[in-house]
Amino acid sequence: MECKENLNISKLTSFKIGGEISRVYYPETVDEFIEVLKKEPNAFVAGNLSNVLVSSDGFDGALVLTKKLDKISIEGNVVTASAGVRGTKLSKLVLEKGLSGLEFMVAFPGSVGGEVFMNAGAHGQTIADVLRTATLYSPDEGVVTLSNKEMDFSYRTSVCQKKSYFVLEAEFLLESKSKEFIQGKMDENLQFRLNKQPSLTLPNCGSVFRNPTGDSAGRLLELCGAKEISSGDVKVWEGHANFIINYGQGTSLDVLTVMAEMKKRVKENFKIELRPEVRFLGGKNKKEVELCKMLYQM
């Protein structure tokens, strides 16, 4: 199994931010994944770091990247994909088979594991709408398969955020539709992203905060003047107040500082506590630790 030591991770993250990680593992099979988690029980597991802010000061621990767990099988309307499969790749593959249900993934930079973990969704579709079962690994229970109901999906969350479960594989039940219909929905989704979200060429981690119940984080942040918030080369995107862009040599502390100010303004103006969608990996920088306690209510 491939393992890289003292790897500078910045080029691999969507934010283009991050220091050295002590150990980075790339398992290619479920057995290798389990082997790593037994060896490194406190390892941080991610797909392709599209939704993770890594500290510029690095991380003294293990990181497991599932990008090499990339198997896909299709039998009729049932599609099974390993955790490391890119959502964009999967959505385009099922299009060729005339299968509908994953059109929302066409503009997602993340992988299946992360999308199941957080019940990702967009444009009226979510993972919960199409997932039939998920195969997970738990240090306490071993490999288990849970039904859609047992995954306890709700807005941007699943049982994986409540218990120590790691996604290994997801099984989706899709619908047969014409390729023209599916392509049309994908085109609409791509156009929406082009108009409402920053290009993937701009270093960002997607939506920064989850939408509070019955409202939009972007709307609240806009009303609070969040688009004026910046720290170093890190700024809130001028096109939508719930995105943060690294315009140059931004640091993780810059990002957390901007996030803290965004959260503070919404709380002061609307008495609403915004919850981050972005995950953080670090712990060596005291200022970052303090900001994280406030942001993540640790």
Strand-pair partners of 52: 279
Number of residues in the chain: 298
Q: Taking the CA atoms of 186, 192, 197 and 200 in sequence, report the sign of the dihedral they define.
A: positive
Closest of 20, 19, 27 to residue 1, by C-alpha:
27
Active-site residue, 207 included: yes
User: How far, in Å, CA of 36 to CA of 30, rounded?
Assistant: 10
What 3-state DSSP class applies to 10?
helix
Q: What span, in angstroms and rounded, lies between the C-alpha atoms of 151 and 132?
A: 10
CB 235 within 8 A of CB 204: no
Q: Is 193 a catalytic residue?
A: no
Given the residues 207, 231, 252, 288, the one annotated as active site: 207
| Residue 276 one-letter amino acid | P
User: Which of 35, 150, 156, 171 does the annotation list as catalytic?
Assistant: 156
Q: Does residue 156 carry a catalytic annotation?
A: yes
What single DSSP character describes residue 167?
E
The two tokens of residue 172 are: 């989706």
User: Which residues are identified as catalytic?
Assistant: 156, 207, 277
